[in-house]
Chain A
Amino acid sequence: MSQEKAMGARYRRNRGDTITGYLFTSPFFILFAVFGLYPLLYTIYISLFKWNMLGSKEYVGLRNYRLVLLDDPMFWKAVGNTFIIWFESTPLQIFLAVLLAVMLNQAFLKGKAIFRFFIFLPNITSLVAVSLIFANVFGVKYGLINYFLTKLGASPIDWAATSWATQVAVALLVIWRYLGFHMVIQLAGLQSIPADLYESATIDGASRRQQFFRITVPLLTPTILFSTIIGTTGGLQLYTEPFAFLSDLSGGLAAASGGSHNQVLTIVMYLYKSAFTDHSFGYSSAIANLLLLIIILFAMLNSLLVRRLRG
């Protein structure tokens, strides 16, 4: 360690390093400035204006935020939908991911790599393809699920027009695509728990159940929190899944407004609709900033929790 620091000191004397340092990092900073930082600042700026991109901008102060928060039932509907789909997918998904990871981590298990391969496979398919497959499985007239429902004597469900059913279908789609992803992360978390902890616990006479609740659960908690935050920030930005699913099930027009009852209109779908269909760019920017604020709050909450758990 000290030797490396000495090396670092010797580098510092090399004048060429300053130029190379800026040169090598410049592609990132140039692209970040143009396509990352500037759009972010501009989104904050433009949210204070009324603007349809063609006409002139009209300064309105915080009116867009007031309208979004106090005067727009559709925004709150989108917030509610996003939350419902999140609630129907993320907790169950992470529970299942932990369960499967614990099973895959059993020493006796044969064919680990094969199970892992297949359960992870949905994660490589494109969101569009996944959504189209699910639109087939949940097809109203000829879908497999409705076929089996009628076979079992139940009445078929209109997955395209019944609010709760569309939400459940989208939540299932999300679970299907990301279960393997979370499982692989939980597995990595399990494998990073030192084996000698279990060995010494066994010597001390701890039962397997005690080991699970006293060693595995506490040491896996940061990984579970990590999965939760990934699932939550992803869930807050849900867009392609409900959109492509509905485009196939009930056409592009219904999809753009999140279904015939706006039942799967998510926050990001509403953001894009107000920007690219209604051309209210200031208004849409206000929604983007509110969403960004929520995401940053969640990320901060997460790092706070992780730090408290470690400390």
Chain B
Amino acid sequence: MRQPIGRCFVYLILLIFTVFSLFPFYWMTVISTRTAGEISAIPPAIFYGDKLSMNLDKIFNNENVEFIRTVGNTAVITLIITLSMLLFSSLAGFAFAKLEFRGKSLMLLCVVGSLMIPMQLGIIPQYIIMSKLHWINDLKAVVVPGMVSAFGVFFMRQYIDSAIPGEMLEAGRIDGCSNWRLYWRIVVPTIAPAFATLGILTFMGAWNDYLWPSIVLKSSDSLTVQLALLRLDTSSYFQDKSIVMTGSVLSTLPLFLIFLAFNRQFIAGVTDGAVKG
């Protein structure tokens, strides 16, 4: 790789994969600026058109879907899940890392063991529970099971265990702090990076979730954005791809902005998440 040819080759390959990664995004935004008719032309449209506002209008005044409402539903679900995930995971992580209590090692073993099991395979009883609770078509059906996870707890335990020295907590104890105050005054301010990582992962997962919401959220007023995408097309004789793609652009935009702002934490989060999980 020391030769200039080798170096050019490296740049060329990376460039090819960058184009491969970006092209679908580019084409998605191209379609969102075109009419359905323009897309079905031969040759297909490759450059931007001027119909974005028309497509946006079709989305915000859609017959099938109240798009703003689905965005609102998704935002509520995502925010509650993310905040409670951070709170409950860090509380449990703190207890597992720094407190001594009877049965702790067995309980931690439970957490680690459940990491391996894909929870979505329990979907049938989960659905039955939700219908018994009368939570079908209620955002609670998506929010409540997502409020804390084994991964979150384990991730926080690992982080708190290595980031907070025992002396610091001991000093707080001597000053008469309760466990809750130790958590609030010492643990929370120290683990900001872990909050960022877990927060981003949780936010992304909740925003993009499709499978479970598709089973428990059926009524039009309870839909999330991801569910709405498959229902935006109101035309009956031909498919209006431009609306669907405009919706996809809108649904990707919030995550794209977060990724743009925090891409280092984001990638660190995915790496840590994968390696520690």
A281 to B125, CA, bound (A): 9
- Beyond the given pairs A17-B179, A39-B123, 19 more chain A to chain B contacts, judged by CB atoms under 8 angstroms and listed by A's residue number, are A20-B180, A24-B183, A25-B91, A28-B92, A29-B107, A32-B150, A39-B122, A43-B125, A106-B10, A118-B22, A124-B252, A126-B208, A126-B252, A128-B208, A133-B248, A179-B17, A184-B271, A285-B124, A289-B121
The A interface is mostly helix, strand or loop, or mixed, namely helix
A4: Cβ under 8 A from any B Cβ: yes
Residue in chain B with minimal CB distance to A108: B7
A164: Cβ under 8 A from any B Cβ: no
B39: Cβ under 8 A from any A Cβ: yes
Contacts of A22 in B (CB 8 A): 101
Residue in chain B with minimal CB distance to A182: B274
Taking a contact as CB atoms under 8 Å apart, the answer to whether A288 and B121 are in contact is: yes
Q: Report, nearest first, the 10 A-B pairs whose CB atoms are least far apart.
A: A39-B122, A21-B101, A39-B125, A7-B166, A126-B208, A42-B125, A129-B248, A24-B95, A20-B179, A24-B91
Taking a contact as CB atoms under 8 Å apart, the answer to whether B88 and A27 are in contact is: yes
B60: Cβ under 8 A from any A Cβ: no
B44: Cβ under 8 A from any A Cβ: yes
A168: Cβ under 8 A from any B Cβ: no
Taking a contact as CB atoms under 8 Å apart, the answer to whether A136 and B91 are in contact is: no
Residue among B39, B94, B179 with most chain A CB within 10 A: B179
Q: Given contacts A36-B122, A109-B10, A285-B124, is CB(A25)–CB(B95) below 8 Å? A: yes
A134: Cβ under 8 A from any B Cβ: yes
Residue among B13, B88, B169 with most chain A CB within 10 A: B88
Taking a contact as CB atoms under 8 Å apart, the answer to whether A272 and B123 are in contact is: yes
Q: Which residues of A pack against B, CB within 8 Å?
A: 3-4, 7-8, 10-12, 14, 16-18, 20-22, 24-25, 27-29, 31-32, 34-40, 42-43, 46, 53, 96, 99-100, 103-104, 106, 108-109, 115-130, 132-134, 136-137, 139, 141-144, 147, 176, 179-181, 184-185, 187-188, 208, 226, 230, 233, 237, 239-240, 244, 247-248, 252, 268, 272, 275-276, 281, 284-285, 288-289, 291-292, 295-296, 299
Q: Which residues of B pack against A, CB within 8 Å?
A: 1-2, 7, 10-11, 13-14, 17-18, 20-22, 24-25, 27-28, 31, 39-44, 88-89, 91-92, 94-96, 98-102, 104, 107, 110-111, 114, 116-129, 144-145, 147-150, 153, 165-167, 169-170, 173, 178-180, 183, 204, 207-208, 210-211, 215, 226, 229-230, 239, 241, 244-245, 248, 251-252, 255-256, 259, 263, 266-267, 270-271, 274-275
Taking a contact as CB atoms under 8 Å apart, the answer to whether B270 and A181 are in contact is: yes
Residue among A32, A99, A295 with most chain B CB within 10 A: A32
Taking a contact as CB atoms under 8 Å apart, the answer to whether B122 and A185 are in contact is: no
A31 to B223, CA, bound (A): 24
Taking a contact as CB atoms under 8 Å apart, the answer to whether A43 and B207 are in contact is: no
Taking a contact as CB atoms under 8 Å apart, the answer to whether A129 and B229 are in contact is: yes
Taking a contact as CB atoms under 8 Å apart, the answer to whether A133 and B24 are in contact is: yes
Q: Given contacts A17-B100, A292-B117, is CB(A28)–CB(B111) below 8 Å? A: yes
Contacts of B116 in A (CB 8 A): 295-296, 299
Taking a contact as CB atoms under 8 Å apart, the answer to whether B21 and A27 are in contact is: no
Contacts of A133 in B (CB 8 A): 24-25, 27-28, 245, 248
A307 to B117, CA, bound (A): 20
Residue in chain B with minimal CB distance to A13: B100
Residue in chain B with minimal CB distance to A100: B17
Taking a contact as CB atoms under 8 Å apart, the answer to whether B208 and A136 are in contact is: no
A31 to B2, CA, bound (A): 56
Contacts of B274 in A (CB 8 A): 181, 185, 226, 230
